[in-house]
Each structure stands twice: as structure tokens, then as C-alpha cells.
Chains A and B, each alone.
Chain A
Amino acid sequence: MASGKSELKSRVLTGLGVALILTWCLLPVVWIISLSFKSQSAVTNGSPGFFPSDGGGAGFQNYVDVIQNDQFGKAIINSIGISLIATILSVALATLAAYAIARLEFRGKKFVLTTALVIAMFPVVSLVGPLFDMWRTIGLYDTWPGLIIPYMSFTLPLAIWTLSAFFREIPWEMEQAAQVDGATSWQAFRKVIVPLAAPGVFTAAILTFFFAWNDFVFGISLTSTERARPIPAALSFFVGDDPFNRPASLLAAGAVVATVPIVILVLFFQRKIVAGLTAGAVKG
């Protein structure tokens, strides 16, 4: 019975550990959610409990206010649009570049890879000043492309590195078999290589989307109006009626709304990322 006892002990300890980590990670999120259901006056007067005090609950009113807020609605559209376009462009370009890097021998391959790495290491803040000046001159300031371009240049290196690692894992014979079966190089790439590299493509896509969605520095410094301002920047401008008394519960609701797309995205793609698609390609 000694083994049964130690098994029970290890299960209890595992459970405890999991609970600890979950609390640590999720407490702030849960608190924001709790805050978003309290009324503004309850927050101002002090409402320390997790659940709203009597009469201090706001129901979904904060959410309704947030979504009906013109400024915020535009920011959501900006954020979704800019992040999606940046992700699609970045992943498409990175897929092609990574394929070339994994499969072809060409001059300057090392140079491309090192440059990509150097760019990825560049501090974002150092580029804000020059970009601000440049964008104002060119006319990209406060536009979608003005944000999409810097997002792409910062996420491409990571996407290329991730994807070329995935492509290298795919046996050459896959493509050769496809070519013998009658596929053009492009068909072999699209019908065999890309599906096999799908976990890599999704990983790269998620990383890119995260970066674009969560960015604050570019968002606040390269925009000036609702034309292109994304959610993180918009939240900071969310002052409400009284500039000296910021609407905390409204902001919390806005933060929750901003987090939801990311959570959905991760849950949706998680299965695809984990699936080991190359299993069974060759003898194993």
C-alpha cells in the first residue's frame, strides 16, 4: 500500500502546485473582470470585496458603455484590422523567405539570417523617434500602414526563424515525391510543404498577432486621432467625463474586451500548434 500512499501524495502536491500557479497567473485577470462589473460610484467610494457590494454592481452596463463608446469602437476596428493585416502579410512573407532559407543555397543567406536576428533584438523605443519624423514627412503618420509596417518589420525576423526551423524538419523526399507525382514546385510547396509546416505557420501567426495586438509604444506615438489608434493606446485616452477621476470600472471592461480576441485566438489555434503533423511521413 506504500505505492498507493505515495501516489496520493504526489497527486495532492501536483494539485497544490497547479492551484498556486493558476492563482498567481489569473488573479489579476480575475480582478479586472470583477472590477468591470462594479459601478463607477462603488469603485470611487471603495469597494474592496471581490463581488460587488450591495447596490454597487453595475451588471453589464460598463460593457454596454464601452461598446457604445464611439472612440472605443473605432479602436477595436483599428486594432483588429491592423493586427490581422500585419499578421497575414508577415506570415506570408516569412513562409516564402523561410522556405528559401531552409531549401536553397544562395549567397548572403547567412547575412539575411543575422540581419533578421539583429532587427529582432533592436529596442522598439529607439525607433519611435525616427519613425515619427519619417512618417510625418511621407504622410504615413496616423494611418494603418504607418503601424502595419513597423509591426511587420519587428515580427518578420521571429517568424522567419521559427518557420525555417519547421521547414528544415520536413524531409526533402516529400517534395521530390510530389514532383515525381506531377506537381510543379509551387504545387509541391502549397499542397505538401505548407500543410506539413502548419504548426509552424500558426505559431508564427500567433506570435505576430500578439505583438501587433499588445503594442503600445508605436500605437500611441505614431497615431494622433481615431483614424488608426489601436486599443492599448485608446485605453490610455479613455478619460471619461471627469479628467481627474478616471473611470476605473469602464477601463476594466475595456481591458476585458481587448483581451477576449487573444484568448479566443489561442484556444482556437492551440490544437493545431500542438498536433505533431509530420508523424508518419517517413519510416519511424
Chain B
Amino acid sequence: MAAIEMKNIVKKYGDGFAAVNDVSIDVADGEFMILVGPSGCGKSTLLRMIVGLEDITEGDMIIGGKRVNDLAPRDRDLSMVFQNYALYPHLTVYENIAFPLRLAKRPEKEIDEKVREASKTLDLDEHLERKPGNLSGGQRQRVAMGRAIVRDAKAFLFDEPLSNLDAKLRGQMRTEIARLQKKLGITTVYVTHDQTEAMTLGDRVAVLKRGILQQLATPRELYEQPVNLFVAGFIGSPPMNFLPATVENGQVQLPFGTFPLAADKAKKAEGKGLLMAGIRPEHFEDVSVIGDGSVDESRTFEATIDVREWLGDQQYAYVPYEAEAAVQDQLKQLARESDGESLRTQLVVSLDAASKGEDGEHTTLFIDTDQMHLFDPSSGENLTVGL
């Protein structure tokens, strides 16, 4: 087990394109680190640089206190689970798991013990003599993990290991990976584009965009205190709502009305012209389901809900609004960066499941402006981070 330090890592391809640009991440010993970002953000490239399958153009990769930039993959003592599992089809499950040990020329007895132990951990005992071709996706996934854990490596690396599984299996394997990592206490770097995996598995999460590290923080911090528009929009499902806003006299002016704003937030944002306000769907509520007397009248507004999606434990409601062309362009740009697409300017609100009403009806909504963040629209920077 070892810590992994990445210092100003750069990966440039022959044509000068920088797939990873000046990324510095410290993974502590035993930590579960997630690399997340939309496709093409350089997260897989970074992982492959850690394991040694890609050359590092600039910067230092330090594993367990030793600079490994020039070491071949086999000398780095890391184990990796590939997206496509990369099992050896001509070998049985037993031999697949034993492969790294056989290469290390361990004694037969030790190999057998370790393989049996790994297969027990992963519930593969009855499949040991089968070939990977006869296994289901989830079983193949477990064999790939078995091959990784059998060899007390310094760290585990996962490259989108669950992306080929169906939704139900993915959920189960996610829990399984979390449990295994806790049990073995081994340093882990996990690449994913799925934010549920990122939020639930990681001790810390590194969000990347176009090869640049955006934010490195705990899942909670990412969610509550995103440093910029990209992180705010990428983390969370449904995503954070972005609204054009101006702050004047301690009040924030949104497309639906003007609401009071906390003094410290107002101070940071006052007089900056048109800003981008970010507020998560759950920070709205239907006034009719909140116990009366506790509602601050100045923070409510009338909204026309055009579609409701009732999920049982909660519901999502969509409130369309008109926005200026400039704002619309920026919202589209944001959506594209996080692999999404915004077709119309609308507010997504998460309401209590008890809230009722016909589509197209007027509803009075409460907005919790204390939870709102204000972003500089040109730089994308969060002006109210930490507040």
C-alpha cells in the first residue's frame, strides 16, 4: 500500500493537444479517490499514466515515495481492472486469477491459497474451472477484480469498471467494490463518468474538464460548495438550476421575482451586473405542503408547472421561463460541457410527493435563497464559495 502523488502532470500528444494539463492530485495511503468528468476530459489518460500504459510528458508521478515516471507497468506494482475486463480467454478463472502470481514465480502452495481466498471473497468458488467465455458480465467483472486483489499491490486502479453492466448489477457491484476497498484498506483510484459512483464511492473526488482539474474535494463539498459553474452543473441529478440574476440592495433579482439574500452573499455579489445564480432542485418547495406559519412570504413566488414527474418518494416539476438570448447561449454551452443538452430554459424543482396539482396550474413555490450560489458568468467562478 502506498500514497500516489501526481505533481503537475501533463500529457501532450504528438499534435500538441494536451489531454491532461498540469494536474496535481495527492492520493493518501488507503484513500478512495475518484476521477470524474465528461468524456474526453482526460480521466482515463491520467489513470493510464499512473499505471504506466501512457508516457508522462511533464511532471512527476510518485508512488510510495518513489518517482515512477520511467518505470514499466510491471515494475510499478499496481493492479488494474479494465473497462472491458481484459480477461485471458484461454485460461480458466483459476488461472486468470493466478496469472500475476505465476508471473511473480510464487510457490504453488501460496498461489493456491491466495487464489482460493480471493475466489471466496468474490464468491467465485463454483466457477474456478470455467473459462471466461462462459461467464456472465457480473461474473467476469468479479474475476477481473479477483486478478487485481490476489496480488497485494500498492494500489488498485479501476477504469470505468461498471460501465458494461446493467443498472441493477451496477448498483450491487458498486456496493461490493466499496465494501472490498474498506476491508482491504488499499489505496484506490477509480475512473468513472457516472456521478452516482463518484459521489457514493469516493473519499474524495477529482472533477476534470478538458484535461484540467476543476475541483478536488469530498463528495459533500463538491455538492454544496462547487467552485465553478462546470462542477456545479456536472455534480447532481437532476442538475443545478442556473438562472440569470442581479444583486442590488441585499436583494437578488431572478426571472420569477426579487428575493432577499443573506448579507454575506449579497456583499460579495453586489454591483457585479448580470450574474448566474445556481440553485439545486431540492431548495424549492411547494408552499402548500409546508406547515403554515413557517413560510417566509418574501421568498415565495407564483409558478406555472407544465410537467410533473411523480416518483413516489418525491416529485420533479418543470417550470419553463423566458431568458435573454445571451443567457440561453451560456446555459447551452454549460450543458454541452457536461455531456448533456438543454433544449429549453426551465427550472427543475424537487417537491414533496404530497404536492398535488394539474399540469399547467399555478402553484406557489418557496425558494431557499440561503442555499443559492452566485457565479461570475464570464469566468464561471463561484463568488459565494464557502458561504
Residues of A within 8 A of B (CB): 171, 173-174, 176-184, 187, 192, 195-196, 198, 277-283
A173 contacts B86, C-beta separation under 8 Å:
yes
Pick the most buried of B73, B79, B85: most chain A CB atoms within 10 A of its CB: B73
Q: Please report which residues of chain B, range 92-118, place their CB below 8 angstroms from some CB of chain A when the two chains form the complex.
A: 99-100, 103-104
B85 contacts A283, C-beta separation under 8 Å:
yes
A181 contacts B103, C-beta separation under 8 Å:
yes
Mark each residue of chain B from 20 to 60: 1 if its CB lies under 8 Å from any CB of chain A, else 0: 00000000000000000000000000000001110000000
Contact sample, A vs B, 6 pairs, CB 8 Å cutoff: A173-B82, A173-B84, A176-B73, A177-B88, A179-B73, A196-B88
B90 contacts A195, C-beta separation under 8 Å:
yes
How far apart are the CA atoms of A178 and B89 in the complex, in Å?
A: 13
Asked whether B74 is an interface residue with its Cβ less than 8 Å from the other chain, the reply is yes
A179 contacts B84, C-beta separation under 8 Å:
no
B74 contacts A179, C-beta separation under 8 Å:
yes
A181 contacts B99, C-beta separation under 8 Å:
yes
How far apart are the CA atoms of A278 and B86 in the complex, in Å?
A: 11
A280 contacts B87, C-beta separation under 8 Å:
yes
Asked whether B379 is an interface residue with its Cβ less than 8 Å from the other chain, the reply is no
Partner among A180, A278, A280 whose Cβ is within 8 Å of the Cβ of B74: A180
Partner among B53, B103, B140 whose Cβ is within 8 Å of the Cβ of A182: B103
* With known contacts A180-B74, A180-B79, A181-B103, A283–B90 Cβ distance under 8 A: no
Interface-located stretch among B130-138, B189-197, B272-280: B130-138
> 19 more A-B contacts (CB under 8 A) besides A174-B88, A192-B88, A282-B84?
A173-B82, A174-B86, A176-B86, A178-B99, A181-B79, A181-B147, A182-B100, A182-B103, A183-B74, A195-B90, A196-B89, A198-B90, A278-B89, A279-B89, A279-B133, A280-B87, A280-B132, A280-B135, A283-B84
How far apart are the CA atoms of A282 and B132 in the complex, in Å?
A: 9
* With known contacts A173-B82, A181-B100, A181-B103, A281–B87 Cβ distance under 8 A: yes
How far apart are the CA atoms of A118 and B220 in the complex, in Å?
A: 65
B89 contacts A177, C-beta separation under 8 Å:
no
Which B residues touch A179, using CB under 8 A?
A: 52-53, 72-74
A283 contacts B86, C-beta separation under 8 Å:
no
B134 contacts A280, C-beta separation under 8 Å:
yes
* With known contacts A176-B53, A280-B132, A281-B132, A183–B103 Cβ distance under 8 A: yes
How far apart are the CA atoms of A242 and B115 in the complex, in Å?
A: 72
| Smallest beta-carbon distance B377→chain A, Å | 42
Which B residues touch A180, using CB under 8 A?
A: 51-53, 73-74, 78-80
Asked whether B142 is an interface residue with its Cβ less than 8 Å from the other chain, the reply is no
Partner among A177, A195, A279 whose Cβ is within 8 Å of the Cβ of B82: A177
Asked whether B308 is an interface residue with its Cβ less than 8 Å from the other chain, the reply is no
Residues of B within 8 A of A (CB): 51-53, 72-74, 78-80, 82, 84-90, 99-100, 103-104, 131-135, 137, 140, 147, 151, 164
Closest to B137 in A: A283
| Smallest beta-carbon distance A54→chain B, Å | 57
Which B residues touch A184, using CB under 8 A?
A: 72, 74
Closest to A177 in B: B86
| Smallest beta-carbon distance B61→chain A, Å | 15
Partner among B73, B89, B103 whose Cβ is within 8 Å of the Cβ of A187: B103
Which B residues touch A195, using CB under 8 A?
A: 90
Closest to A282 in B: B84
Pick the most buried of B103, B135, B140: most chain A CB atoms within 10 A of its CB: B103
Closest to A170 in B: B89
Partner among A192, A198, A279, A283 whose Cβ is within 8 Å of the Cβ of B140: A283
Partner among B84, B90, B99, B100 whose Cβ is within 8 Å of the Cβ of A171: B84
Which A residues touch B137, using CB under 8 A?
A: 283
How far apart are the CA atoms of A283 and B51 in the complex, in Å?
A: 22
| Smallest beta-carbon distance A238→chain B, Å | 46
* With known contacts A181-B147, A182-B103, A176–B82 Cβ distance under 8 A: yes
Which A residues touch B78, using CB under 8 A?
A: 180
Closest to A281 in B: B89
Closest to B103 in A: A182
Closest to A179 in B: B73
How far apart are the CA atoms of A266 and B89 in the complex, in Å?
A: 25
Partner among B74, B79, B86, B104 whose Cβ is within 8 Å of the Cβ of A282: B86
How far apart are the CA atoms of A281 and B132 in the complex, in Å?
A: 7
Which B residues touch A280, using CB under 8 A?
A: 87, 89, 131-135, 140
Which A residues touch B86, using CB under 8 A?
A: 171, 173-174, 176-177, 281-282
How far apart are the CA atoms of A180 and B75 in the complex, in Å?
A: 8
Pick the most buried of B52, B88, B140: most chain A CB atoms within 10 A of its CB: B88
Which A residues touch B80, using CB under 8 A?
A: 177, 180
How far apart are the CA atoms of A280 and B139 in the complex, in Å?
A: 12
Which A residues touch B164, using CB under 8 A?
A: 283
How far apart are the CA atoms of A180 and B80 in the complex, in Å?
A: 7
| Smallest beta-carbon distance A195→chain B, Å | 4
Closest to B104 in A: A182
Which B residues touch A183, using CB under 8 A?
A: 74, 103
Which A residues touch B103, using CB under 8 A?
A: 181-183, 187
Which A residues touch B151, using CB under 8 A?
A: 181-182
Which A residues touch B73, using CB under 8 A?
A: 176, 179-180
* With known contacts A181-B79, A181-B151, A196–B74 Cβ distance under 8 A: no
How far apart are the CA atoms of A279 and B132 in the complex, in Å?
A: 8
How far apart are the CA atoms of A177 and B53 in the complex, in Å?
A: 10
Closest to A278 in B: B89
| Smallest beta-carbon distance B6→chain A, Å | 18
Pick the most buried of A174, A180, A195: most chain B CB atoms within 10 A of its CB: A180
Which A residues touch B100, using CB under 8 A?
A: 181-182
How far apart are the CA atoms of A178 and B164 in the complex, in Å?
A: 21
